[in-house]
Amino acid sequence: MERKRTLGLVLLAALIFGTLFFLLRQQPLSTLAQVLRTMRPQYVLLGLGLMFCFVGCEALCSKLILGRLGHALPYRKCLGYSFVGFYVSSITPSATGGQPAQIYYMSKDGVPAAHGSLNMMLIAVCYQTVTFLYALAAFLLLPQVRSALGGGLGLLLLYGGAVMVVLTAGMLSMMFLPGPARRLTGGLVTLGVRVGLVKREETVRAGLERQMTAYREGAACLRANLSLLPALLLLTFLQLTALYAVPYAVYLGFGLRGAALFQVAGAQALVSLAVGSLPLPGAVGAAEGAALHAFSLFFGPALVTPAVMVSRGISFYSFLLLSGLITLCVHIAVRRRAPVRDPKPPAAPARLPKAGGTAALG
């Protein structure tokens, strides 16, 4: 695990260096510095506040779910888990490491791995559902933004949308249609064995059965707490709105007017969906490239590069540093305490595509 994280950090550093080189080629450094000085600092603070709201909404989701499961954890603990998820998701390809890390630190606070996994599964279902619906609304209602993405990014958008639909439909099927889901996954395993993709059939089937059990427990939790799902969906909507509104804060910070919040946030939603499934830590490089196309419609050629740099600086790079420091604090605090039950929880049941969520922050 540590070796994977180290490799992820090295890859992330290389991607950041390459992205900066690419962005600085778009505009001379002296001109860029002059433009950045015109950015009003209060809107940078607004953008940072939106990012705190983004992380805080996920923490509130965890507090609600874990509370229903009998774990009355203080909000600061849940906030720590969310920062851990942000950091680890940002340094692992496709944000695959965030959820297992969160479950691990939950287990250190006495939350059984099964309950931690259930918590992350419910958050993932809500996150993916709202992400797709947000992007779908933007795709249908903002044809000018859709056109600005161009053909190549349009294909990425199609790919990201297809991945999101398959993941979300699969997760919902496992929760509410376990019989058909079991038959489908069983058939896929059989096919994988026949073509040589699956080497350890029994191990894979046992893992799938554990996942099915976790999803059934998730569905049972929602049925027993009918008010929980609407609350989670509302919090996730607020969470993503805060994330997608960061470029709008930058837009206002440059003194621009005319575009509505939904237009800029919708463009960010499409960018996030297009690059969120790419196997890149934090979608670094891809997110900036896609944003240059999408936001040129609002910022124009002179301001789009500085706008993308400020937007990503707020929504990804600054919070990468902050979440890394908080993760270190959480880890030190855990090391100082005696270990409790479930020190090695299983991997999370579903991938959470965070830029951000973190994988597609911009």
Q: How far apart are CA 192 and CA 124, in angstroms?
A: 26
Q: What is each CA distance from 260 to 137, 142, 147, 255, 265, in whole angstroms?
A: 15, 11, 18, 14, 9
Query: How would you class 86 by CB atoms within 10 Å of its CB: exposed for 0-12, middle for 13-18, buried for 19 or more?
Result: buried
| Per-residue pLDDT tens over the stretch 132-182 | 999 999 999 988 887 777 667 778 888 888 888 888 888 888 888 878 888
Rounded Cα distance between 138 and 267, Å, is 7
Distance CA 161, CA 85 (A): 23
pLDDT tens for residues 276-306?
Answer: 877 777 777 778 888 888 898 899 888 998 9
* CA–CA separation, 137 and 307 (whole Å): 24
Asked if 22 and 288 count as a contact pair (C-beta separation under 8 A), the reply is: yes
How much is the pLDDT for 352?
Answer: 42
Instruction: Give the pLDDT confidence score for residue 277 in this predicted structure.
Output: 77
Instruction: State the pLDDT confidence band at 5, using cuts at 50, 70 and 90.
Output: low
- In DSSP terms, 281 is beta-bridged to 93
pTM attached to this predicted model: 0.84
Say how far residue 172 (Cα) sits from the centre of its chain.
Answer: 19
- Checking if the pLDDT of 94 tops 60, the result is yes
178 contact partners, CB below 8 Å, separation of at least 6: 212, 215, 216
- CA 116 to CA 81: how far, in whole Å? 11
pLDDT at 354: 46
pLDDT for position 349: 47
Q: pLDDT tens digits for 344-357? A: 444 444 444 443 34
DSSP classification of residue 259: S
Residue 115 CA to residue 121 CA, distance in Å, equals: 10
